[in-house]
Structure 1
Amino acid sequence: MNDLRTRYMGLQLRNPLVASAGPLSQTLDGIKSLAGGGVGAIVMYSLFEEQIRHEAARETEMMDRSAESFAEALSYFPTEPSNESGLVHSYLQLIEKAAPVIDVPLIASLNGSAKGEWSGMARRMVDAGASGIELNVYYLPEDLQVSGREVEQRYVDIVADVKQKVSVPVAVKLSPFFSSFGEMARRLDEAGADALVLFNRFLQPDIDLDQLQVISGFDLSNPDEAKLPRSWISALYRRVSASLAASTGVETTQDVVKYLLAGADVVMTTAALVRNGSSYAGQLVDGVTSWLNRRQLTLNQARGMLAVPAGADADEYARSGYVSGLERAKKTYAK
């Protein structure tokens, strides 16, 4: 039996398959089902910066109103917003209930776009029992005056801010849309990110021609979307200290294995588990074991086997692959 134990951002996992942030982790039963299904860790659904700020503002407003009407009762209010009837309270309560009853790390997820007081929620998540924090930095600058460097600095500031607030490992989930993604990965690594999760998926609205309106939506990923994150994981393998997590385009055992060969420490999926159920995780893990056994490889031997070679110039390596791909296309289609 192949040993699939894996270290991810300092956490010991029983295997490299991780349930990424998604709808299956919104309830205690859902989290228990994922753990029982065989994943190595669970990333909870995201708590959004806007939700935290909105509920904090609402609580503050209630405190102010009560202070005006009943000044003598002010001392009975907490010094910090409690959100006891809102999403924040429910999220923290879910961590408190779930973390002690599952046998895998539970990683809380924060989705934000700017450094601010909301990031202090990370400490409360850890106090509730989270083993780590995943930061999903979702920022789409629409101000045409904002420079690329300002956008990059915002990511670095958020990571550094949260790292100062918690003692557990912190991962950052990124988009690929940087002018120099490799340098951005290095900066986040130097800022203290314990893991880089490649990649998050921006919502891409469509247009309804009958209603003449913009519609938003979110589709589950498919294996074709794995090519870009796999390429970057291959390029970053052993070139950054942070763990590398693959996210997007995982449906089969083959998809998991390809990511591992590229150099991923862990492979995350939501789409496959939504489509096939939590127990499908066990099939994916068993499939990885079978593949390794057939090849007579250990997990450590397979991981990074097809990454960009350590001594290779990454740019030249990518260019050579590009030229080779074009040559194959000519032979295949130019007939």
Structure 2
Amino acid sequence: MDLSTDYLGLRLRSPIVASASPVSATLDGIRRVVDAGAGAVVLYSLFEEQVRAQEVEDLLLTEAHEGAFGEALDYFPNAPSVGPAGTTPYLRHLERAAAAVDVPVIASLNGSTPGGWTSIASSMESAGAAALELNVYAVPGDEGVTGADVERRHLEILAGVREAVSIPLAVKLSPFFSATGDVAAALDAAGADGLVLFNRFLQPDVDTEAIRVVPGVTFSSPVEARLPRTWIAILRHRVHGSLAATTGVDAAEDVVAYLLAGADVVMTASALLRHGPEHVGVLASGLAAWLERKGFASVDGARGLLAVPEGAHAGAEARAGYVRALEEARGHYGSLA
């Protein structure tokens, strides 16, 4: 069975991609997902805050010694030679990972402001990244920040990185734009080679006994796939770049559903953390079995069969689906609206 697919201009042996997670923090984890059949690996994210913290630490260390032994130039700490301050461990790991496996290794940058991304992205390209995933994780909690401001920030970050590197770029989006389709089209036109739908905001929870806020890190569940799947189906024939699905992938059926909606690749992290890196093989074999059972010779034959048709009014299609869902539910539960 031909499971190969194109993503960001890269030819992958499988549409199943290990998304950014602790699995890729070690070469062993990377090798295990690749040996299990992953078409590509997205390295764990390098966070803007990590780079800034290391830059401050390096500055403080240098300033602490600037008045001593001025004639001895080697007395000062050496600046990192691999890339910008704070990026050296990540870049070294990226370089080793790219050399260790025969599938594309995609670097991931997680931040919220335009500054500093370009030099880091350039260093990632030099370290062997086959592509970059720009994870613009920002919660616009300030009342003075408008929707237009948020969208402009995404475009500024993309433009800066696009100018700095020649490798493909994917932008990982939040589902909370007021007009997701317009933002997707704008990023597509501005040079994004692909979109990853969607980022999961790790919302905190409340411990009512301790009366404190606690981290809200949880694995995704298949029901969460409905929103990104809807938008992938809408965007399939409306953007030129690749579409990557992420969130809610646990079984082969989840992979199939995303592909039918129009995804070029299907990414998973929670399933690998829940079941182990070898779960990629379970997803791949399940996908191959479904394709064979349904009479498809390849992934390309099934992709996008349930996408919103080219030329159709996406809003009307979504509205019609909403009405159909209510009508079906009414038969089970009575009037809902």
TM-score higher than 0.5: yes
SS at match of 1:196: strand
The farther-off stretch of 186-195 and 56-65 is 56-65
Q: Please name the residue that 1:316 is paired with.
A: 316
* Residues 1:238 and 2:257 are matched in the alignment: no
C-alpha displacement of 1:57? 2.3
Q: Which moved more, 1:74-83 or 1:110-119?
A: 74-83
Deviations 1:65-112 (A, max 9, x none): 33332323447868965589x862221111121111201100111100
The aligned residue for residue 48 of structure 1 is 47
Aligned equivalent of 2:196:
197
Shift of 1:130: 1.1
Task: Tell me how far apart the structure 1 counterparts of residues 180 and 29 of structure 2 sit (CA, whole Å).
Answer: 35
Determine if contact 2:55/2:86 at 8 Å carries over to the other structure: no
The answer on whether the counterparts of 1:66 and 1:74 sit within 8 Å (CA) in structure 2 is no
Q: How many Å apart are 1:142 and its aligned residue?
A: 1.8
5+ residue gaps, structure 2: none
Task: Report the aligned-residue RMSD.
Answer: 1.9
Query: Does the CA-based 8 Å contact 1:67-1:74 persist in structure 2?
Result: no
**2:248 paired residue number:** 249
> What is the aligned partner in structure 2 of residue 141 from structure 1?
140
* Amino acid corresponding to residue 144 of structure 1 in structure 2: E
Rounded Cα–Cα distance in structure 1 between residues aligned with 2:332 and 2:20: 40
Q: CA deviation at 1:270?
A: 0.7
- Whether 1:184 and 2:183 are equivalent positions in the alignment is yes
Q: Structure 1 unaligned segments of length 5 or more: list them.
A: none
Farther off after superposition, 273-282 or 191-200: 273-282
Q: How does 1:178-327 map to 2 (within 5 A)?
A: 178-297=177-296, 298-327=298-327
Shift of 1:217: 2.4
1:273 is paired with a residue whose SS is helix
Q: Helix, strand or coil for the counterpart of 1:71?
A: coil
Residue pair 2:237, 2:309 contacting (<8 A) in 1 also: no
How far is 1:64 from its partner? 3.3
> Match of 2:230, SS?
helix
CA distance in 1, matches of 2:250, 2:306: 20
- Letter of the structure 2 residue corresponding to residue 321 of structure 1: G
5 Å matches for 1:48-67? 48-67=47-66
- Cα separation, 2, equivalents of 1:52 and 1:184: 28
Distance 2:153 2:76 in 1: 34
Q: Which moved more, 1:114-123 or 1:253-262?
A: 114-123
Tell me how far 1:278 sits from its aligned partner: 1.2
Return the letter of the residue paired with 1:248. Answer: T
Assess if the C-alpha contact under 8 Å between 1:53 and 1:118 holds in 2.
Answer: no
**TM-score computed with the length of structure 1 as normaliser:** 0.95
Of residues 130-139 and 72-81 in structure 1, the stretch that sits farther from structure 2 once superposed is 72-81
- Residue 287 of structure 1 aligns with an amino acid whose one-letter code is G
The answer as to whether partners of 1:55 and 1:83 remain within 8 angstroms in 2 is no
Could you tell me how far apart the structure 2 residues matched to 1:140 and 1:197 are? Answer: 18
Report SS of the residue matched to 2:273: helix
**Separation in 1, partners of 2:104, 2:301:** 25
Question: Deviations 1:145-187 (Å, cap 9, x if unpaired)?
Answer: 1111001100111111111111111111111101100000011
CA distance in 2, matches of 1:78, 1:162: 29
Instruction: State the partner residue of 1:14.
Output: 13
CA distance in 2, matches of 1:159, 1:291: 37
Question: Which secondary structure does the structure 1 equivalent of 2:67 belong to?
Answer: helix
Query: Could you tell me how far 1:137 is from its partner in structure 2?
Result: 0.6
Query: Structure 1 residue 328 and structure 2 residue 328: aligned?
Result: yes
Query: What aligned pairs does 1:106-125 form with structure 2 within 5 A after superposition?
Result: 106-125=105-124
Q: Which SS does the other structure have where 1:296 is aligned?
A: coil
Aligned residues: 333
Amino acid corresponding to residue 242 of structure 1 in structure 2: G
88-97 or 266-275, larger mean C-alpha shift: 88-97
Structure 1 residues 172 and 312, CA, compared in 2 at 3 Å: closer, same or farther? same
Q: Is the 1:273–1:281 Cα contact (8 Å) retained in structure 2?
A: yes
Report the Cα distance in structure 2 between the residues aligned to 1:68 and 1:224, rounded to whole angstroms: 60
Give 1:269 shift: 0.2
Q: Is 1:89 the equivalent of 2:109?
A: no
**1: CA distance between counterparts of 2:36 and 2:65?**
48
Q: Deviations over 1:195-254 (max 9, x none)?
A: 100001111111111111111120000000000000000000021011000000000000
Deviations 1:7-65 (A, max 9, x none): 10111110100000001001111111111111000001111001111112222333333
Q: Which amino acid in 2 is paired with 1:320?
A: A
Give the Cα separation in 2 of the matches to 1:70 and 1:159: 44
Contact 2:69 2:75 in 1 (8 A): no
Q: Aligned partners of 1:81, 1:96: CA distance in 2, in Å?
A: 15
